[in-house]
Structure 1
Amino acid sequence: MRFTEVLVDPARQGDSNAHVLFLDQTGQLGGAELCLLDIVSGRACPTDQVLLLQEGPFESALRKRGVCVSTRPLSERAAAVQKSSGVFRAARSLWEMVRHSGAIRDVVCQADLLYANTAKALVVTWLAAVRYRKPFVYHLHDILSADHFSGSNRRLLVFLANRAQHVIANSDSTLDAFVAAGGRRDLVSVVYNGLDAGRYDAAIADTEIHRAAVRNSLGLDQQPVIGLFGRFANWKGQHLAIEALRELPNTHLLLVGDALFGETQYADLLRQTAIRHGVSQRVHFLGFRDDVPAIMQACDLVLHCSTAPEPFGRVIVEAMLSRKLVVASRGGGAAEIVSDRVTGHLFSPGSRADLIAVLKQTFQMAAMDRNQMLERAQNEAKERFDLPGRITEVNCVLKRALSSSRNLWTSGGVAQRRLASHIDALKRIAR
């Protein structure tokens, strides 16, 4: 099929309530998905729709918030491509994604604007945008560096993102890495994640109840408790926290999360590490939980332990909103969130010695200094990362993208139309 679809309705260009189709590659609930969940439910636009390229709990979470969502799973070959995959494997999967761009024609053609929320979704979004003449926005939640992506995947993502109407970066660090990889700075707006402070205020109001319930379930009394929240991955540094526990007698560690994207070997390694260091009785694996605000109330300190720069660091903001002391790895978005010795403490990424020293220093803070730090951190989190403000910023980007798409296919569009015809040919071959 060639380009017979209707273009964006001019009457709706520049309208934040236009029909936006949000695409995400996974059905799991990672940081990018939690961010999208808050954005779409916060926009409360009845014409918005989310399209997932994999089944999973993200779909039910969206439905619980009243969001219109459908799932069109990618083929096994396309779904298996990872950030570190080489060019050959990525090229083979591209054929599957070309085919998939046709399979989602019905939902794409209803939309005024496409919104890619993840890297793999960007590939499908771009293919669909070119084929069906739709403007698109890319929300970049990753630091495009060799720590996370193969060279071929970085080049592909930058090439596609540079053809979006606009790019949203979740931190200045994410923006800087994008530009360093060849991305166009003029396309990018930085929009931090927003969080609903009310959830954390409610948990604080019942702090004694939550603290007792969680600690009693784990057989804990007044022992110091560190909480580390997030999916299990080597670069997230859970192993460092377990190793540090040897130097923190009587201190317990709550690991809230699990393996998400095929990292089961690392999850097994964490359990083995706890046994090897003789701290298995003080490391508690809680799995993924949807009562994070309540669990944070049982912690004395929340730890962020990534060994590579974090694109943003949602859990750090959650801890600040929960009035919990924060120790975070210096670098990436974490260093943008935490002011060292003002709203939390930072340590050198990957350094067990520095981590231990900072943890001991934080636990030894005087009560007055601790309370002042908690107050500053909570106030700053509410001011800088409030959800309504961040949704307003996203809506401004969407308006701008719709307004700039007026001449997308009518002026200077010869090359794109030619490229679209090539995609038509690729799709026929892929059949």
Structure 2
Amino acid sequence: METKSVDVLIFNHTSIMSGGEIALVDLLRANIAEHVHVHTDRAGGLTDAIGRLPGVTWSSTRTGTSSTESDSLGTANALRAIVLRFTTLIQMRRDYSRVLAQISSPTIYSNTLRSTLVLTTLGLGGRRLVFHQRDQLTPEYLGRWSAFVSRALIRAKASHVIANSSSTATTSPLPPARTSVIPSAVADSFYKIPILEQDATLRIVMLGRLSPWKGQLEFLRSLLVLRDEIGNTNWEAEIVGGALFGESEYEDKLKCFIEKHDLGSKVRMLGHVNGVEQILARCHVLVHASTLPEPFGQVVAQGLASGRAVIAANSGGPLEIIRHEDTGILADPTNAFELANALDRVLKDEGLRRHLGEAGRESAGRYRINRISHEVRSVLNLDRRSKSHPPTSALSEESGTASTGTRDRNGQANHD
């Protein structure tokens, strides 16, 4: 069996475009390596995005829609979840073993926790395993047992951890000397969004997948206080994001809240949107309201880069991104009155909005893709290697490989 060589072999367990997948695509667009191969569970949003990039090939285990199961390994619906996840992990282990045997690379870059855990159970043949840690490995996120096992496996097998914030790095299983803090990049398109002038009606937006800990319900409660208790009605709001990981019940709960409290004329739920730049271009204020400490807060960084006034949760990654009262406002999202008062203040003060937008955009310069991609290349040891490798050829699941999509150097699509 012929072995193909690439500069870096990337594993990402899902093709659903969530925050980590968007960050990965941004890195690949910045050409972090001459030849890259990405393996995921099946064709979907991620493969659609990277299939357009020169020098990038991909393979998937199956065809059809990508799994809607979250990367969380917590204990909800315990017995059914354990059986399902155990079966899935066995299948992934067999699949990953085959890919490792067919594709040679000095570095394996794992972009999700689940992919990393599978890789830690396999023989890597002396290759470095770099885990990009985008979540906090704590019992609050994963459950006590899953957090313990995850940390032990990664500590035993990973060579290096890239943490997306200092907050995340405090939960890294590896010592500081083998943990690098590199925030997620913000695409250049966000920095080009014009500053929005004063309008008769101000627009508030909340971006992010629908999930209870992401705080959409807390946001709605604060809007209710803003309208009924504070008396500020000079606004309209949009909630942008879909229930990507099977959390449709939470989506229904949000819709019921809007209907029950007659917020339909003020609040719109837009679902998942590709290219949120168009959403930010028409809004004045971005709200982030995660109720658990956000590992990083990519939408917060995007809001700053867009020159928008940002109100964010006062925990986790946003504490590192925002200077309170200078580049943004920090508030407790679980306190509806505190969040509503922050909104009222920003909505009423055009000078404050402009200052936050300008200072925020300036501070967001450290998240530019060129800078972040250079830091990631350094950790992956790609700056030390100038040798080019031929791109990986097509693979198929039945023959021990998987379906592959590539594009040539002129950007034309090729599907083998």
Question: TM tier, shorter chain?
Answer: 0.7 to 0.9
Q: Does 1:243 align with 2:221?
A: yes
Q: Does 1:38 align with 2:38?
A: no
Match of 1:159 in 2: 152
Q: Does 1:114 align with 2:133?
A: no
Match of 1:192 in 2: 183
TM-score (norm 1): 0.78
Match of 1:347 in 2: 331
Q: Does 1:202 align with 2:192?
A: yes
Change (3 A) 1:135 1:402: farther
Q: Does 1:68 align with 2:62?
A: no
Is the 8 Å Cα contact of residues 212 and 250 (structure 2) preserved in structure 1? yes
Is the 8 Å Cα contact of residues 293 and 315 (structure 2) preserved in structure 1? yes
Q: Indicate which of 365, 371, 374 corresponds to 2:357.
A: 374
Question: Counterpart of 2:164 in structure 1: which amino acid?
Answer: N
Match of 1:137 in 2: 130
Is the 8 Å Cα contact of residues 242 and 253 (structure 1) preserved in structure 2? no
Question: Counterpart of 1:292 in structure 2: which amino acid?
Answer: V
Match of 2:169 in 1: 175
Change (3 A) 1:146 1:241: same
TM-score (norm 2): 0.81
Show the 5 A alignment for 1:256-275. Answer: 256-275=240-259
Distance 2:275 2:12 in 1: 24
Q: Does 1:53 align with 2:44?
A: no
Q: Does 1:84 align with 2:74?
A: yes
Is the 8 Å Cα contact of residues 77 and 96 (structure 1) preserved in structure 2? no
Is the 8 Å Cα contact of residues 27 and 52 (structure 1) preserved in structure 2? yes
Unaligned runs of 5+ in 2: 228-232, 386-416
Q: Which has the higher helix share?
A: 1
Higher relative contact order (CA 8 A, sep 6+): 2
Match of 1:334 in 2: 318
Distance 2:343 2:106 in 1: 50
Q: Does 1:26 align with 2:26?
A: no
Question: Counterpart of 1:148 in structure 2: which amino acid?
Answer: Y
Show the 5 A alignment for 1:386-425. Answer: 386-399=368-381
Give RMSD over aligned pairs. Answer: 3.0
Distance 1:310 1:44 in 2: 26
Match of 1:316 in 2: 300
Distance 1:355 1:281 in 2: 21
Q: Which has the higher strand share?
A: 2
Change (3 A) 1:313 1:42: same
Q: Secondary structure in 2 aligned to 1:244?
A: helix
Shift of 1:29: 0.8
Change (3 A) 1:97 1:71: closer
Identical amino acids, percent of aligned pairs: 25
Distance 1:58 1:94 in 2: 20
- What is the aligned length? 371
Is the 8 Å Cα contact of residues 15 and 44 (structure 2) preserved in structure 1? yes
Is the 8 Å Cα contact of residues 232 and 260 (structure 1) preserved in structure 2? yes
Q: Secondary structure in 2 aligned to 1:177?
A: coil
Distance 2:125 2:260 in 1: 56
Is the 8 Å Cα contact of residues 21 and 48 (structure 1) preserved in structure 2? yes
Change (3 A) 1:235 1:77: closer
> What do the CA deviations read for 1:250-296 (whole angstroms, capped 9, x no partner)?
42111111111111111111101111121022111112222311211
